[in-house]
Amino acid sequence: MDYEQLSKDECVEKLRELETACQELEQMRETVRRNEELYRAAFEYTGTAMLILEEDMTISVGNHKMELITGYSQDEIKSKKLFTEYVAPEDRERMLNYFKRRREGGSDVPTEYEFKLLQKDKGLRSILINVGMIPGTKRSLISLIDITDLRSSEHRFRDMAQLLPGIICEWDNSMKLTYANKKGLETFLFTEEDFKRGINLFDFVSPEDRQRAEKDIYNVYHGIYGNPVENTVRRKDGALLHLLVNSAPITEGGEIMGMRMCIIDITDRVVAEQKLRESKHRFRDTAQLLPGIICEWDNAMKLTYTNKKGLETFLLTQDDFKRGVHLFDLIQPADHERAKKDIANIYRGDYGNPAEYTVTRKDGMVFHLLVNSSPITEGGEITGMRMCVINITDRMVAEQKLRESEKRFKSIVAWSPTGIALCEKAGCLTEMNRAFCDLFDIPASAAPAEVPFSVFNAISLPADKQARLDAGESVEHETALRLEGKKGKAEGDRFFMWNITPLEKSRDSRELFIVQVHDITEKKKADEARLAEAQKETEEARHVIASLRREIMDRASFHDMVSRSPLMKDIFDILPEVAQTPATVLVTGESGTGKELVARSLHEMSNRKAKPFVAINCSALPDNLLESELFGYKAGAFTDAKKDKPGTFSRADGGTIFLDEIGDISPAMQVKLLRVLQNKTFEPLGGSQAVKVDVRIIAATNRDLSAMVKKGAFREDLFYRINVLVIKLPPLRDRRCDIPILCDHFIERFNTRYNKKIKGMSQEAANALLAHDFPGNIRELENAVEHAFVFCKEPTIGVAHLPQQFRGGAAAAGLQSISHVKDFDELEKLYLQSVLAETGGSKIKAAQKLGVHKATLFRKCKKLGIETKKDEEE
């Protein structure tokens, strides 16, 4: 505009407009200044620490709340320009990544972020920050909220949840599991992999309970909760669990974020009480009896928390909490010193040992409690102590009644006609009844310390009985003692039967034994007279039978194997020839048939017998351990491999290796074993050079390898490598004639091991063994005989001494035990019957097996009265 062309009036008007505009601008500046002061005051005096950060994390503006939260003064804060200097070192990189993503504006980046703030005194605080980006800039406006106390409280109650006997779990709004305590993990068999995949509540709620569960969840989300409900769930292993569930919503900022459940596993009770459950109310009353007392104390032993059961037990109110409840106000004075020692031990890390205490409630009632305590730690420091308490008052009252009953029992013992005494481990007597004193001429008024009588010195228990006594078992022992008469006249040897039973240690840690003794002198003399008469009548027969047994055992033995079965004798005949060859041998047969004995016999008869025989059970070890066991390893092959270790193949070099249960090895190990069979070389774990060995391989299995090859479970090339020479051992049920001779073999062995003199088996016991199918074969028979040895206290093993599974078939067997034959004819008849049974009754085949002419066998059978169904055919 050309102002020179304006008139005077127009210029005056323009000046007035300019003056008005200047006034309005000044007013706007004043308004801006006042707003700036207002915002600065709000920024400075807001309830939280506020910061403005530049893009490089430099602090441009910060209010005075930063002094309170960091411990630094304003001048010190101004000197620390970078915000990361206030962040704990372990959180810095994560913090920088967060701000980078926040500035990039990712939609998945939350506005709130939690980190550890490093204070001036090196302390750490849990801080929640809210980050806002200032529009048009790279600057950030953040607020910092101290949530340390909140996290400490959360951790404390999380720790408490881990101690609770019930299950605590939390779910988000989609019913996905977000938290479960230790009891929950154990009950539902949850793993970390389950959490990663996601666990939905309805994945394991029973179908019949799904509708009711949905209704319960609906009620919780609409403010109806607090009433426990019973539900059934199906665990991932298929087990059905009955649960008592109490639910409540999880809210944040007025919004429901999910649901929390407190659960008690009532499966056992539901199963046991299904017919007794009458109503939901009765169930709730029972559930109220389940929890124990949980309480917490600070370092001054002031009560900081107790659950409902604790409040009810100790009659505590909120006023009591305000005034303060001290631990030593509850414990009786007599227990104060012990409590101080226990607390000191807990603070030193020695905890987990329940202790009994007596407390007095404010109404004067006395309680006996069983207390288990542990320290409460926060930030690596002990901040108090947590106790789990069980009220055992009723048990203590019952123990008092038991002590009263014990007094009455002692009076009965005192007048018992059986000699009864208590003695210590050294044998010194501590208590005796009248009968015991009379037996050994001990004055009734004598104090135990004055009695020169030691039980164990007097009876001298043998080592096996002493071992049983030390193991906590009762033992019986007979002994003879030379006693002096009451007037000094010798009474001679008297025989006593002692029964000694160990008791639990007394409160002063003494080991005590209760001793019962009977004078059996007269009974002993009568028994000895009858025994002498019986021995005289049977001595000659015993010599004949012992001679026959030795002869048969010698003829039936081959190396360490015992058999008179034609099936086994065929195997015995070929073993020497097989032993001289270097070929691989496969021994098949059921478990317990003696496959390892055959392998050892082949080794002992071979030209490798001077070298090692090494056996390994392939099914007993996983692949990684089996590989290192077979091939060894080099130092450094894995973490704990400090030095080289030779494997089984190295140790067996020049000798024989026995691979038992070869059918159970994995396909990967089959490949590695095939290489050894083909090339006679292998590489140790961690090694790079092949090791050559000279070993003979004998494999064994109880599985059908050819069937496994067809199914693809066993490599065909490996099968043909080991299936060169096959020895198939028959099961014991196919050679029952070996049962009597094996029994005699085992009886001879166990007599030496157990220091006994058992002479044989009764007819009934032999019949029971012969009637059994023996799925466990010779090993099962050996175990049955050893079981009988443990319980047999007579010269002969009876049916009652055998394991339970053998007692039902005693009448089914028709053969007799070798140890009870009367003469050689009966023994010869027993042997011929067993051979004929194996040949299906054919006397011609039996003669061939025995190596005699058939006419000779016919005459023997006729003389002994042996008949078969095939007599007419022959």
CB 577 within 8 A of CB 569: no
* Backbone φ, ψ for residue 782 (5° rounding): -60, -45
- The number of helices, as runs of H, and strands, as runs of E, in the chain is 32, 33
Q: What is the pLDDT of residue 551?
A: 47
Q: What is the pLDDT of residue 698?
A: 93
What CA–CA distance (Å, rounded) separates 194 from 188?
Answer: 11
Which string of b and e fits 38-47 if b means at least 16 CB within 10 Å? Answer: eeeeeeeeee
CB 384 within 8 A of CB 299: yes
Handedness of CA 729, 733, 738, 739 (dihedral sign): positive
Residues with pLDDT less than 70, the chain: 1-6, 32-33, 35-47, 106-108, 149-164, 252-254, 272-291, 484-492, 506-509, 534, 536-560, 637, 808-828, 851, 868-874
Biggest CA-to-CA distance, the chain: 169
Q: What is the pLDDT of residue 544?
A: 43
Tens digits of residue pLDDT in 198-235: 888 888 788 888 888 888 888 888 888 878 888 888 88
Closest CA to 820 of 805, 830, 834, 832: 830
CB 253 within 8 A of CB 288: no
Residues ≥6 apart with Cβ < 8 Å to 794: 758
What CA–CA distance (Å, rounded) separates 271 from 166?
Answer: 18
Tell me the two tokens of residue 623. 């692949």
Q: What is the pLDDT of residue 285?
A: 43
- Residue linked to tokens 């569960």: 213
Q: What is the pLDDT of residue 490?
A: 44
